[in-house]
Amino acid sequence: MKLLSLLILLFGYSSHASADLICEDLIGAWSSERHDTSLSSDRRTIKALYPDGSYWIKFIHDNGTEITEQEEHGAWTCDGKILGIKINKIDDESVSFYNIYNLLQLSTSFHSMQPIAPNCSNVLGDCSADIVLEYYRVLN
């Protein structure tokens, strides 16, 4: 009986953890701040995900003596569990990269995600599948 109760509990948890999230909650402006260890800098990220599937994102790195910025443009897709980002332009240079993220949490005011097999060739700063990225809604 204890085994049956444990299996029911585990099944209930796993089905809750794998439930689809509402992708429309991603539409809007988001901000994130964290320390980037590989660049020894603080990193602020501002991004906008648009209803037409396009996105814009700006990374701002501040190491205390210099501020650098990088901008991306591209397209996003979401299936309720996975967020796909197709990068078409970094700053003014055309590129073609695709990154996917496991959506861990998503609400109208917060979302977190983790890279799945990240393509680190185009990333300025920390890049690892171990990083959890947290974003907060930018309020008007």
| SS3 call for 50 | coil
Q: Taking 60 as the threshold, does the pLDDT of residue 5 lie above it?
A: no
Domain that holds residue 67: 21-137
| 93 domain-assigned | yes
| 129 domain-assigned | yes
Give me the pLDDT at residue 126, please. Answer: 66
| 5 domain-assigned | no
pLDDT tens sequence across 36-83? 777 788 989 999 999 999 999 999 999 889 999 999 999 999 999 999
Establish how many alpha carbons lie within 13 A of residue 119's alpha carbon, considering only the half-sphere containing its beta carbon. Answer: 11
Q: Taking 80 as the threshold, does the pLDDT of residue 129 lie above it?
A: no
pLDDT tens sequence across 19-47? 788 999 999 999 999 887 777 889 899 99
Domain of residue 93, CATH code: 2.40.128.20
**Tally of domains in the chain:** 1
pTM across the whole model: 0.78
